[in-house]
Homo-oligomer: A and B are copies of this chain.
Amino acid sequence: MEQNHHVVVVGGGFGGLELVNDLRGAPVRITLIDRRNHHLFQPLLYQVATTILATSEIAWPIRHLYRDRPEVMTLLGEVQGVDRLTKTVTLANGQAVPYDTLVLATGATHAYFGRDEWAPVAPGLKTLEDATTIRRRVLLAFEQAEIEEDPARRDALLTFTIIGAGPTGVELAGIIAEMAHRTLPGEFRRIDTRQSRVVLVEAGPRILPAFAEELSAYAMTELGKLGVEVLTGTPVTDCTEAGVRIGDSFVPSRTLVWAAGVQASPAANWLGIVADRAGRAIVDQHLTAPGNPDVFVIGDTASVKQENGTPVPGIAPAAKQQGAFVARVIRARLAGQPMPKAFRYRHQGSLATIGKRAAIIDFGRIKLKGGLAWWIWGIAHIYFLIGTRSRFAVAWSWLWIFLSGQHSARLITQKETHRREE
């Protein structure tokens, strides 16, 4: 048994943490590297962007999670490359970290299909800073509309466009519509926030394509009740400060949010292995890099096929299953036991909320929608949060909104660095 086998894990997301958790008691020492000091519960990030939750309710310092695991060392650092010959990871500060086993769990970011110039006007939602940026822009738009004298400019300020109708896009659109139509009226004197337009644009033929058709149809209806205008089969052709071009028509809109494409981290480049179209490293059936059995790639930055040939989706449960699988492989190798069979993804279901009262859940055979689905969604998410404190805090925030209808995190903070503000 090798006592000092050194496992280096890059990325403290769902996959990386599950791996470290499952290696408890294994004969290894672990270095966990992340460029952030916190693990982020991304499924609720849209609620920070829409003033429901505070940042600290969905993020936890990584090193605090492993304070009782002396064999785990947490490093704040940004990986810039991997040298497979010397078996080292290079950090941005020049430091080289040697590994015996390497696990890359470095996730994905949003992608603009080659139109990176859209990024400043249509921010995506992957980090806490993204969430506060979107929150600031949404709140500032209402504030600026209140003092705007020109009707056309006021209308553009009161038009919010979300590009991409997966769960994040649908969730953002639903809450922004509820804010405009239910939370904010009565607080402004010159504008009627109920006149706001919330436009959800989807290039594909229907919203929420990962769900059964009947559930996406239900979500369409519910979004309509909240006042969201949904456009499907309509690719966005330009994003500017003034608005968004959709096919041949231009929608004047001062606030755009990008929820359309994702691009994997450069893990495949670091390893010099083949990537799929979204930049995800194509790994073999044990989630190892081809030709490198001591290098694993998991989560959103890995390209893995299901048995039916479709790709494993880029969602938290998939990353967690991969982290748990790699922990089993590492344990088996170190113990000289037979390797587990190939990684097999088990889809546990898809969830999405529409506003603050309805949700859809697609378990495959069982499909749920409406209020009951919303309660299951809420309880499941509170269950998966880390720590008693966060569970109470989020439950309290939600209960308060449920009782009072008032959002609690409506703060405009930080100045824009790359955008003109009036």
Contact surface of A with B, Cβ cutoff 8 Å: 36-38, 54-57, 59, 61, 63-64, 66-68, 70, 73-77, 93, 95, 128-129, 132, 139-140, 143-144, 146-147, 186-190, 389-390, 392-393, 396-397, 400, 404, 406, 408-415, 417, 422
Contact = CB atoms under 8 A, between A and B. Distances in A.
A37 B143 contact: yes
Contact of A411 (B61, B143, B189): B61
B414 A129 contact: yes
B75 A410 contact: no
A187 B37 CA distance: 12
12 contacts: A37-B411, A55-B413, A59-B411, A63-B187, A73-B189, A74-B189, A75-B146, A76-B144, A129-B414, A129-B415, A389-B406, A392-B396
Nearest to A417: B417
B128 A411 contact: yes
A67 B406 CA distance: 11
Contact of A56 (B59, B188, B392, B409): B409
A406 B392 CA distance: 15
A415 B418 CA distance: 13
A147 B412 contact: no
Given A95-B147, A393-B396, A410 B129 contact: no
Given A55-B54, A396-B396, A410 B147 contact: no
Contacts of A129: 413-415
Contacts of A409: 56
Given A37-B412, A63-B187, A393-B393, 20 more contacts: A37-B410, A38-B412, A54-B54, A55-B411, A56-B409, A61-B187, A63-B188, A67-B187, A73-B189, A74-B187, A74-B189, A75-B146, A76-B140, A76-B146, A95-B147, A128-B411, A132-B413, A393-B396, A393-B397, A393-B408
Contacts of A54: 54-57
Contacts of A139: 37, 61
A71 to B, nearest CB: 9
Contacts of A56: 54, 408-409, 411
Contacts of A75: 146-147
Nearest to A64: B187
A80 B140 CA distance: 20
Give the most central of A77, A128, A389: most B CB within 10 Å: A389
Contacts of A393: 393, 396-397, 408
B147 A77 contact: yes
Contacts of A412: 36-38, 76
Contacts of A37: 139, 143, 410-412
A417 B417 CA distance: 9
B422 A93 contact: yes
A6 to B, nearest CB: 13
A124 B59 CA distance: 26
Contact of A414 (B406, B411, B414): B414
Contact of A67 (B67, B144, B186): B186
